[in-house]
């Protein structure tokens, strides 16, 4: 297991641990205090950041430099999570942001409907017969 995967496991375990609903009654006109914070920046470009605020919000992220561009250009790949409360209900989102873009996962995110079978068949046919597409363009 690489260092990045080990850090990610720790970050996600902390983010997904069963947090308690915030007990503080906060004044909505006052800033929300930060109750815990950690930040590590390594010379190789990898990092790990996290914080927790008094309202129960938690944010964790870990990243490293890797080839993410179309020509192998260096970029940052990040994995993380955040959680927050709305009406005493905890919402948690985990994500990866890398050469494949931002990929969030949460049970409250909308999901697209399935692609109809006829469309899938047409796409498969088109992929299997590229010569027909080329004839139409000439």
What is the average pLDDT across 130-134?
73
pTM, full prediction: 0.63
Query: pLDDT confidence of 81, banded at 50, 70, 90?
Result: very high
Phi, psi of 54, deg, nearest 5 = -65, -20
What is the average pLDDT across 77-83?
96
Q: Strand, coil or helix: what is 61?
A: strand
Residue 120 pLDDT exceeds 50: yes
5 or 80, greater pLDDT: 80
Query: pLDDT confidence of 71, banded at 50, 70, 90?
Result: confident
pLDDT at residue 131 in the model: 80
Residue 43 pLDDT exceeds 90: yes
Q: How many percent of the chain have pLDDT more than 90?
A: 55
Residue 1 pLDDT exceeds 50: no
Cα separation of 27 and 51, whole Å?
Answer: 20
What is the average pLDDT across 128-137?
72
Residue 100 pLDDT exceeds 70: yes
- Nearest alpha carbon to residue 17 among 56, 47, 72: 56
Asked if residue 82 lies in contact with residue 65, where contact means CB atoms within 8 angstroms, the answer is no
């Amino acid at each position: 297991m690489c260092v990045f995967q080990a850090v990610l496991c720790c970050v996600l375990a902390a983010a997904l641990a069963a947090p308690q609903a915030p007990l503080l009654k906060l004044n909505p006109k006052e800033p929300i205090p930060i109750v815990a914070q950690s930040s590590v920046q390594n010379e190789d470009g990898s990092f790990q950041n996290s914080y927790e605020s008094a309202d129960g919000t938690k944010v964790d992220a870990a990243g490293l430099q890797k080839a993410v561009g179309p020509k192998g250009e260096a970029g940052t790949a990040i994995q993380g999570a955040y959680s927050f409360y709305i009406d005493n209900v905890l919402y948690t989102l985990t994500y990866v942001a890398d050469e494949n873009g931002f990929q969030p996962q949460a049970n409250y995110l909308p999901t697209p409907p399935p692609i109809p079978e006829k469309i899938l068949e047409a796409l498969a046919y088109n992929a299997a017969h590229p010569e027909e597409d080329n004839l139409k363009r000439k």
